[in-house]
Amino acid sequence: MLPTIDSQFQLKNLITPQEIATSNSLKAQTRQNSATSKWASPISGTLNDEALRAEQEKQEKSKCLEQRRKHLSTILETEKNNFQTELLSHRQSVSTGATRPNFLREISDKEQPKIVDNKFHLNSIEEPKLENLQLDEKRTLYQPQELHQRFDDEQDKQYDRKNRNQQLKIILQQQMDEFNQKEQESEILKQEEERLLKDQWKLKQIEEERKKTEKSSVQPDSGRQLLRQHKAKLHKRAKEIQEQLELDIKILASIAYTNEQSNLEQSEQLKRNVLNTLQQFQQQIKLEREKEQEFDDMYPDDADKYWSRREQEWNHEREIREKLIEEIIEKKKEEIIKKLKLLKQQQEEIHEKQRILINDMEQARKYDLIEKQKQLKEKEISNTQQERENFRLEFEKQNIIEYEDKKQTDKLVQQEIAVNTTTNEPKFYGRRRANWN
């Protein structure tokens, strides 16, 4: 239903163009002040580069939105003023009631698409903001779970680092113990080498002493001297034989004592030979001392015969002793040389193992240093991430506050637009009947 001509004249008398313009201007100023006060929300705190860029982009979007709103408000106010002007001018120029409904219908048809377009534009702006708000709410909802998961991950990393450090300490301690053990083995081998070299030197001394003893033995004419001096010379010769036997026993005892003191594996055959020969020489010197006591009861002729027989026995026994002693000394030399080679090989192996252990310990120390530096770096990164997370939470909180403020402002603007749209349409009071009477 459309308003009648009389209702239009009544509306004209009630509202003047100046009042309408003044009222619209005051409403626009009020909306602008309200929007400006709501939009001017300061952001506290110090922003880093990433947050500053985000804040700048957000401010630019807010500025564009504000400019768009101002532009729409200006267009709306202009349209309203034009509408009021056209309405008043049309009221003054209209002469019949038939043209007024058509005019109002045209105006309504023109304004309706504009209102729809404005609402569509506002919805297109608000929908992304609403989606962002929903995402922020979801992020805020899942944030405690993320923090808990991050805390658990950090605890696992610390536990792994602690285990690695503990294992590294155990490995280093084992390597140090092994290194000390190799040092002790090397010292023992060194002492054994010195002892073997000393035994080798003793063997040389023994050989030289035996050679001197052989040179100082009885000369070929000692037999004739014994024939002249009889018993005295027999005693002297017997003493020389006993001294040679004692020297050989001393040599064998020295070799046997050396074998017993050695920490290395000994030759069982050499040991048995030395002990058997030592027993023979001890038994022989015992017999020589018993036979020496028989010299006092001999006659000169018996002494001459006894000398010839004993000289052959002594020479034969001396040759056997020399052969046995030389054989034992040669075997002892070979054994010493073999042991020296084995000691040298063992020392080289120990030195190689020590070198490997030193390299391993050096690598372990480097790894320990790298782990410590890595822990410091991770701690620094964790602190930085925590600071960024705190800032992000504060920033999101501020965004939510600003979004609520803007949402309230937009709601007020839409309410104002709806009020203005409904008040601009004149009320229809029905068509008056013409009085034909």
Q: What are the pLDDT digits (tens) for 39-67?
A: 444 444 444 567 777 788 888 888 888 88
The rounded distance, in Å, linking the Cα atoms of 421 and 80 is 9
Answering whether pTM is above 0.85, one says no
- Residues 6 or more apart in contact with residue 97 via CB below 8 angstroms: 4, 5, 431
What's the pLDDT tens digit per position in 306-339?
667 777 777 777 777 777 777 777 877 788 788 8
343 Cα distance to chain centroid: 42
pLDDT at 106 over 80: no
368-383 confidence digits (pLDDT tens)? 788 888 888 888 888 8
Planar angle of CA 94, 433, 430, nearest 5 degrees: 70
Tell me which residue of 269, 392, 244 sits closest to 335, measured CA to CA. Answer: 269
Q: How far apart are CA 207 and CA 101, in angstroms?
A: 152
Q: What is the pLDDT of residues 2-19, one digit of tens each?
A: 444 444 444 444 445 565
79 closest CA partner among 35, 118, 114, 28: 114
pLDDT at 19: 59
| Mean pLDDT confidence for 142-166 | 70
Cβ-contact 200, 336 below 8 angstroms: yes
pLDDT given for residue 5 in this prediction? 42
pLDDT at residue 294, as a whole number: 64
**What's the rounded Cα separation, in Å, for the pair 136 and 47?**
19
CB 76 within 8 A of CB 111: no
At residue 291, the pLDDT reads: 67
At residue 437 the predicted structure's pLDDT band, cuts being 50, 70 and 90, is very low
- Which pLDDT score is estimated for 139? 56
- Residue 265 pLDDT > 60, yes or no? no
Mean pLDDT (the chain, rounded): 68
Output the six-digit token pair for 360.
């391993």
